[in-house]
Structure 1
Amino acid sequence: MNKPTLLPYKITGQQFINGNWSMGRSERRLDDRNPYNNEQLLDMQLGSVLDLDEAYQGSKQAQQQWAKVAPAERVALVNALASVMESRSDEIIDWLIRESGSTRGKATFECFHTISMVRESATLPYQVEGKVLTSYKPEKQSFVFREPLGVIGVISPWNFPLYLSMRSVVPAVALGNTVVLKPASDTAITGGLLIAHLFEEAGFPPGVVNVIVGAGSEIGDAFVEHSVPSLISFTGSTDIGRSVGRIAVGGKYIKRVALELGGNAPLVVLDDADIEAAAHAAVVGRFLHQGQVCMSVNRVIVDQKIYNDFAALVVERVQKLSVGDPNLAETVIGPVVSQSQLTGLLNKITRANRDGLECLHSGAASGLVLPPHVYGRVAPHHELAYDETFGPIMPLVISQNEEHALELSNSSEFGLSSAVFTRDMDRGLRFASGIVAGITHINDITIDDQPNAPFGGEKNSGLGRFNGSYAIDEFTRAHWVTWQQAGHNYPF
């Protein structure tokens, strides 16, 4: 069935506040460019603290009415949003390729995975449950209600801009909250302005979703410390997440936080693993979206007995990866998102070479496209293995045995995703239970995020869980209410 012909959205670079499009009032401007060919996509005036306050106040006013909207109506609107996204999927995919440097395969996956999440979120209004408690006092009834928090502030990143914005925005709205969204400047369109158009076309009331594009240095702290939001949902680096947490919890207006932060995902290959499958998974898990994924395979821990064969299989696969134009269907590795990102990666490579690491595969950067790099026999304490490397660089680490592999897996400040390869299910489950992380996949890549499964990390990888019914705990509050017929026999 052919899609209806739709005029593409006109992205003008205006802020979306309380249902209106208006120019930002900051003195700063955003020059948003395609990371592959440097084409200018957007030149816009950024939002100021005044714009931010207007967005929050409008969102607060809108929430009072939105919370009263019947669940059936909220469900219908969320499903309408999914239908709009389906009808505009080609347009969405094109923007993801042009703005975020996504390959066509990654952009297509992100678009339709987001639609699946939106459809799942449409079930949330009917999953909210209260309780009738046993009362310790005679003739008194005791209830617990789940209620929306109010206004949610969402700060989203540039790597999966559409999905990681919508993952917080849609469940929050479905559950009766309103939202102010601040996307990353590198992906102001796909992480924010495009989303505003989608909600507008789906028919959501004014003020339910607001999008403000502003410099973090100008409005970042104000976004978190503002008196209106009840919860700040932040996805990004651990360093900035710490700052968000300090302001949200330690400021004048204490509020909840949901933090999805950095990762250093290990993919462990035990001595009984199918090394062909493990090597394939390691390459996909490391180089998907140029390694710019919080769940990316950041280090591969391989048992010494199978290391040589495994390393050879990895290099064989990496040599065949297509590198270059992200718009081509065959391209696996496109550009990193910015020059600053590339500079940081090149510095890591320079230090790795200076430190004498065994380079198994490399290539010179062209523009912002960095070919895949593989380093063998990397010491666990080296920065390539110990730090999160947000780029197409794979370190192979050797473990002495299963116990040592588990020790290496947990020797990180992060605990988001992980994976282990073994032919023995009992062994895999036992190993997984020993990993301190929010997610562990057995015989699969570290990158997976399903709409009904809890997503979140441990340690410095964050707080809270996203997706499905788990989002209800994040975006609603428990309210204890009691009732009794007659007066109480008080002691005085």
Structure 2
Amino acid sequence: MSKFFCTETFSNKIYLNDWCESTGGTSDVVEPATGHVLAKIALGSGDDIRSAVTEAKKQQSHWANLPFDQRGKVLRRAAELILQHKDTFIEWNIRECGSIAPKAEAELYGAHEQLNMAAAMTMQPDGITLPSTIPERRNTCRRVPLGVVGVITPWNFPLLLAMRSVAPALAVGNSVVLKPDPQSAITGGLLIARLFEEAGLPAGALQVLPGGAEAGEALVEHPMTAMISFTGSTNVGKKIGRTCGELLKKSALELGGNNAFIVLDDADIEAASSHGAWGAYLHQGQICMQAGRHFVHESVAEEYISRLAERAERLRVADPYLGASDIGPLINTSQVEKINKIIAESVEAGAKLITGGHSHDQFYRPTVLSNIRLDMPACQQELFGPVAPVITFSSEDELVEMIAASPYGLAAAIHSRSIGRAMKLADRVPAGMIHINDQTVNNEFHVPFGGFGDSGNSGRFGGPANLEEFTQSQWVSVMDTPVTYPF
């Protein structure tokens, strides 16, 4: 590892204004491919989180009051540095998170794009003027910082999913307390703290404290956090939403998905099977946008299943740190057990195992299941593993009814040679993001991202949505000369 991040110096500390000891104990950073301990990290306790929020609150106004070009300069410098130290970020992503090299590289460059976009936000218009019914009054509605933004991130895309909140929140003048998942605390937390430290971010504007449920609850419940940006499971997101609602604080909840990958009878099956494999198996299927339910018209289902299985069988399952690999390890043994249980129960209920369905240590073979019904676990549950369940349909009305049976509504994809037909179907699919003749795992830094239903609370990340998401509106009216009122 480079001098930029030396485990002996940084990995056993939290970043609270500066690198310091925690009161929450420690945790091992375990390489999922081998089980080897890579480092030891400090965990933030509830008290550590409360101290971090208090410090972030103290420093927020100083950061917000800096001229926009100075805030932009810090973010641009961070963008430069993340490329300079890309090997460190990519290596930790591969070893700590089980990412294959192309995924780790794509995540690195995605974070770089987020930083550049955030730097540009600092110079964008922050309000509008409106007419008044009162003579000589001038009305302005402007966007102002929220204050302290708490960011809670998961382990699957830890760098990108942290940066998409941290960077824009800082750009518009908030301070940030970041709590990454302990399973990816270096890639999604400590490296980010080190990046902004070296970029010249004023002390206190960003605090980084890995931690578990106690730390997360302290961050959500603290009266000084004005907003919580959470990416994770629907069950936890609902709890956070309830707490934020009771405390009248803003929340942006990007939650789970059981995404529909739709293959119509006029689709290009070769292309559809490629897209289906990518959407189902990328990063071992550990993505909220995973193609979790493959809805295929009955007339082309046999061909689609055959081609998808051929693709699955060709994929290389191996330690991505040691060489070429298409599929790395699942993050932990609990995920392996969960996938085994889902497959076993679905097969027992009548599903047919076409290929895969077995693991070695934390490596799981890409799996294809057919004869899937809506009531089977492989269709009902968010998989988060390399599994492609195929459900057949005979009409578009039946298809829409089956898709709507899920409470999730994050992403969907539709394959058809008729764009007009696909567009009409898209009008009937309840999902926040729909991709025609593409796959479900799409993310562009400048396009608003988010889902419907149990996949989120209408929060959006990306492009023009960031300004509204990480600020609040303030009305300012001005009169040159005070008027005299009747009393």
Cross-structure match for 1:306: 300
Aligned AA (2:344):
T
**C-alpha deviation, 1:353, in angstroms:** 2.5
Structure 1, residues 314-338: CA drift from partner, whole Å, max 9, x if none? Answer: 1111110101112255311111001
- Alpha-carbon distance, 1:433 to partner: 1.8
Counterpart in the other structure of 2:480: 485
- Whether the 8 Å CA contact 2:256–2:454 is kept in 1: the answer is yes
Give matches, 1:167-246, under 5 Å. 167-216=164-213, 218-246=214-242
User: Partners of 1:203 and 1:476 in 2: how far apart?
Assistant: 23
Question: Are 2:103 and 1:109 aligned?
Answer: no
Q: What residue in structure 2 maps to residue 264 of structure 1?
A: 258
Alignment of 1:378 onto 2:372: yes
Q: Deviations over 1:448-478 (max 9, x none)?
A: 1101101001111102100111111100111
Alpha-carbon separation, structure 2, partners of 1:229 and 1:470: 21
State the distance in 1 between where 2:268 and 2:352 align: 24
For 2:275, the equivalent position in structure 1 comes to 281
1:303-352 residue CA offsets vs partner (Å, 9 max, x unmatched): 01111111111111111010111225531111100111111111112212
Q: Which residue of 2 aligns with 1:398?
A: 392
Deviations 1:170-195 (A, max 9, x none): 01001111100000111111111111
SS of equivalent residue, structure 1 residue 60:
helix
Q: Where do residues 447-466 of structure 1 align in structure 2 (5 Å cutoff)?
A: 447-463=441-457, 464-466=459-461
Matched-pair contact (CA < 8 Å) for 1:103–1:329: no
Alpha-carbon separation, structure 2, partners of 1:272 and 1:220: 48
For the residues of structure 2 that align with 1:128 and 1:63, how far apart are their CA atoms?
21
| Structure 1 segments unaligned to the other structure (5+ residues) | none
Paired residue secondary structure (1:231) = strand
User: 2: distance between equivalents of 1:488 and 1:137?
Assistant: 10
Contact 1:104 1:328 in 2 (8 A): no
Identity percentage of aligned residues: 38
Separation (CA, whole Å) in 1 of partners of 2:317 and 2:232: 26
Rounded Cα–Cα distance in structure 1 between residues aligned with 2:136 and 2:200: 46
* C-alpha spacing 1:270/1:328, structure 2 compared with 1 (3 Å): farther
Which amino acid in the other structure matches residue 343 of structure 2? I
Checking the alignment, whether the CA contact within 8 Å between 1:235 and 1:259 is kept in structure 2 is yes
Question: 1:111 Cα deviation (Å)?
Answer: 1.0
CA distances 1:261-310 after superposition (whole Å, capped 9, x unpaired): 00011110011100100001000110000000000100100001111111
SS in 1 for 2:364: coil
CA distance in structure 2 between the aligned counterparts of 1:81 and 1:485, rounded to whole angstroms: 43
Superposed, which structure 2 residues align to 1:359-378 within 5 Å?
359-378=353-372
- Aligned mates of 1:50, 1:229 — CA distance in 2: 15
Q: What one-letter code is carried by the residue in structure 1 that aligns with 2:23?
A: R
What letter matches 2:133 in structure 1? Y
- Superposition deviation, residue 410 in structure 1: 2.3
2 CA distance for matches of 1:364 and 1:378? Answer: 18
Q: Distance in 2 between matches of 1:490 and 1:329?
A: 78
1:22 equivalent in alignment to 2:16? no
Q: Does 1:72 align with 2:66?
A: no
Given that 2:119 and 2:171 are in contact with CA atoms closer than 8 Å, whether structure 1 keeps it comes out as yes
Tell me how far apart the structure 1 counterparts of residues 12 and 38 of structure 2 sit (CA, whole Å). Answer: 10
Is the 8 Å Cα contact of residues 5 and 194 (structure 2) preserved in structure 1? yes
Task: Specify the SS of the correspondent of 1:440.
Answer: strand
Larger CA deviation: 375-384 vs 267-276: 375-384
Does the Cα contact within 8 Å between 2:340 and 2:358 map onto a contact in 1?
no
Deviation at 1:408, TM superposition (A): 2.0
Give the residue type in structure 1 aligned to 2:368: V
The alpha-carbon deviation at position 6 of structure 1 amounts to: 5.4
Structure 1 residues 38-117: aligned runs within 5 Å: 38-117=35-114
1:10 paired to 2:9: no
Q: Which runs of 4+ in 1 moved over 4 A?
A: none
1:183-241 CA distances to partner (integer Å, 9 max, x unpaired)? Answer: 0111111111111111111111101111012221x222211010111110000000000
Deviation at 1:413, TM superposition (A): 0.4
Q: Give the CA deviation at 1:363.
A: 4.7
How far apart are the structure 2 equivalents of 1:116 and 1:67? 22
Are residues 188 and 221 of structure 1, via their aligned partners in 2, closer, same or farther at CA, if it must alter by over 3 Å? same
The CA deviation at 1:146 is 1.1
Contact 2:2 2:88 in 1 (8 A): no
Compute the displacement of 1:7 (Å). Answer: 2.5
The answer as to whether partners of 2:156 and 2:287 remain within 8 angstroms in 1 is yes
Contact between 1:128 and 1:146, CA under 8 Å: does it hold in 2?
no
CA distance in 2, matches of 1:266, 1:139: 55
Q: Is the Cα contact below 8 Å between 1:152 and 1:178 reproduced in 2?
A: yes
Give the superposition deviation at 1:45. 3.6
Contact 2:152 2:216 in 1 (8 A): no
1:473 to 464, 468, 473: 468
How far does residue 488 in structure 1 lie from its aligned partner after superposition?
2.9
Q: 1:356 aligns with which of 343, 347, 350?
A: 350
Equivalent residues of 2:349, 2:376 under 8 A apart: no
